[in-house]
Amino acid sequence: MSVTLIDEVVVRKNAPRNIRKTVLSNGLLVLTESMPHLRSVSMGAWVGSGSRDESAEVNGISHFIEHMVFKGTTTRSAKQIAREVDTIGGNLDAFTGKEMVCFTIRVLDENVPPALDVLADLVLHPTFTPEDLAREQGVILEEIKMDEDNPDYLVNEIFTQNFWKGDALGRPILGTKKTVSRFDQKMLFDFYGRKFTPRNMVFSAAGNLEHDAFVEMVERKFSSLAPSGVAVMPKMAAPVATPHITLKRKQSLEQVQLCLGVPAPPVNDARRYGVYLLNTMLGGGMSSRLFQTIREDRGLAYSIFSETSPYRDTGSLCIYAGVAVDKTKQVLQLTMDELRRLKEETVGEMELKRAKDQLKSNMVIGLESSGSRMANLARQQMYFGRFFGVSEIMEEIEAVTTTEIQNLARELFRPESVALTLLGNLGSMEIEREDLAC
């Protein structure tokens, strides 16, 4: 039986990882990494479309479908799915992001066949019954309310909607009360039929498995999918970020939640390791500049950090903090001072070395389980179309210079690009554009 268009052993620079790639005859890409020293296998079906691939009218439908596949298939009820997974000691999960939806399961290696059977059934044969749909609408409407009551989540959501204003990237992954309330069975099946296609999916697995035998099992389950659909991660026009100052007054909060951000390079940009290091030094850990200056030296905040959010065509670098209302402007000023200092002063070699060691350690430790390897395979394939060995990544990190860090800071931290959202009991506080000078 011939099941492949491509069967490739992936040989990567300085990499001992045993990664193989096969494309089934219907276009579905199957990736595996053999880790014979483990007793587990993690596998996942990754759909290369997320909330930013939805129209405004169906905002939230990817997340809704992610929920609905667990409600029953043509051969299993929701209770049967749960019982079968528990019987084999499996961990079944799913998530929806801006650019993908993923369904995963992790089991002992001896339970791969029944685990794959359940996972494939969920992805391929959902029923989306009107009764289940109505119940899940209630669940997700409550989830939306719950997130609106979470200030950490809410400040990010308000920031994102204004930062990517008018673009699908700025819309909430969960959707809105209005859009979720309108979903019906036909809408779900129409969207599902367009997105859950072989060319828009990657099936990855890592752990104690043998590639050829695993591919045969996947082919038996997924051969019913017709060879149609667009390619994973279709090209899109990159959205333009909108600098803004948004003050959301909410009297019930004890703290002011601060989110300050700037546009950043996309996920596959050649300068990405420099951006990661810049973020690490700025707010990526306990030794970072923001943590030391604002928490340790002055005691102005319990939590302050920065993080990057790279996407296929753009990205952002954001700083988050929770502070007392009367300390908000001081924290904001100290933050801008640190951004300015990164632009005006070359970072020291020891600080850069510390950031490099921290980043390398985080990346290596992050690849120590079958689940993380499985996810790493899928993400690298979807965003890069190739795989990076640990040694190659280490070399790229080590190659970043202090001059490159300063040039990146000058490029990213421009006053006209800075956006700010404050959420809390702000009273009469006002923020002017001059307050964001860096």
The secondary element (H helix, E strand) that includes residue 317 is strand 315-323
13, 2 Cβ separation under 8 angstroms: no
Element (H, E) at 21: strand 18-24
**Both tokens assigned to 74:** 């043509």
**CB proximity list for 273: less than 8 A, separation 6 or greater:** 359, 393, 396, 397, 399, 400
Residue 265 sits at φ, ψ, to 5 deg, of -65, 160
Sheet holding 256-263, edge to edge: 245-249, 419-424, 256-263, 315-323, 301-310
Q: Which of 66, 136, 219, 338 is catalytic?
A: 66
For residues 51 and 97, the answer to whether their CB atoms sit within 8 Å is yes
Element (H, E) at 223: none
Cα–Cα distance measured from residue 50 to residue 280, given in angstroms and rounded to the nearest whole number: 27
Say whether 66 is catalytic: yes
CB atoms within 10 A of CB 240: 11
- Could you tell me the two tokens for 432? 């002017």
What is the DSSP code string of 81-119?
Answer: HHHHHHHTT-EEEEEE-SS-EEEEEEEEGGGHHHHHHHH
Beta carbons of 48 and 202 less than 8 angstroms apart: yes
Single-letter residue type at 264: A
Residues with Cβ within 8 Å of residue 33, at least 6 apart in sequence: 17, 18, 19, 20, 205, 206, 207, 373, 374, 377
Q: Which two tokens stand for residue 402?
A: 């202090």
Which residues participate in catalysis according to the annotation? 66
